[in-house]
Amino acid sequence: MRRKGFLIVLSGPSGAGKNSVMNAVFPTIPNLKYSVSVTTRPPRKGEVEGVDYFFRTEEEFDELIRQDKLLEFASFVGYRYGTPKDFVLNQIAEGNVVIMDIDIQGASQIREKMPEAVLVFLVPPSWEELQKRLTHRGSDDHDVIAKRLQQAVEELKHIVHYDYFIINDELNRAAEQLRHIIMSEAARVSRIDLTELQSLWKGWGKP
């Protein structure tokens, strides 16, 4: 039975494990699509254009805003991030579930433009664990790590604006929680084509 597509927004501090949790969920939900963000930050080692991010200059990012090509955009520790609008809307129209990982600024914009979106906040198990993850990642210098930790404190205050939260203390458990959230949301009656349902049940109970 065809169901209406929808958007899942996953937020959480840098180092909370958003990518790891999403990657564990993707093989379990066939129609789950990842929305690749646009960013002005330089690529990290191993990141691929069009897979991890669309890497753009500040001028190119400004042009995307001018053309209203971004569903949302925000700044974070000196760089800008945004979500290409056309991909998200087209995938939802095709009945797919779109998932994106964005910060609280972007999530707030999404909630205003798409109140039906489902917002999930991923929480690290502790401050000490978050600090350890950011340090061991080895992709940022000490000043950037300090900014990310301070930002995490501010981000946590906004958890009350989300629909769900997941504590990522163990990857498989966190991924399973996210999978259950997505499957439960997909099973909402409001996402079902009632005309198709009625046709499937036509004649039920007749001899």
Domain with residue 30: its CATH number is 3.40.50.300
- Please give the average per-residue pLDDT across 110-133, as a whole number: 86
For residue 10, being part of any structural domain is answered with yes
For residue 170, being part of any structural domain is answered with yes
The packing angle between helices 142-156 and 127-137, to 10°, is 150
Distances (CA, A) of 64 to 43, 72, 106, 181: 19, 11, 16, 32
For residue 81, being part of any structural domain is answered with no
- Please give the average per-residue pLDDT across 86-98, as a whole number: 93
For residue 75, being part of any structural domain is answered with no
For residue 55, being part of any structural domain is answered with no
Strand order in the sheet with 79-84: 53-55, 37-39, 79-84, 70-76
Distance between CA 118 and CA 101 in Å, rounded? 12
For residue 62, being part of any structural domain is answered with no
pLDDT of 100 strictly over 90: yes
Which helix (H) or strand (E) segment is 197 a member of? helix 194-200
pLDDT score, position 58: 96
For residue 79, being part of any structural domain is answered with no
pLDDT score, position 9: 97
Per-residue pLDDT band at 206 (split at 50, 70, 90): low
- Please count the structural domains in the chain: 1
pLDDT of 205 strictly over 60: no
pLDDT of 138 strictly over 70: no
> In the chain, at which residue ranges do the beta strands (DSSP E only) sit?
6-11, 32-34, 37-39, 53-55, 70-76, 79-84, 97-101, 118-123, 164-167
pLDDT score, position 193: 74
pLDDT, tens only, 28-39: 999 999 999 999
pLDDT score, position 148: 73
Instruction: Tokens for 77, please give them.
Output: 């520790």
Domain range for 107: 6-35+95-200
Assign 46 to helix, strand or coil.
coil
Distance between CA 13 and CA 16 in Å, rounded? 5
Model-wide pTM > 0.85: no
pLDDT of 153 strictly over 80: no
For residue 76, being part of any structural domain is answered with no
pLDDT of 79 strictly over 70: yes
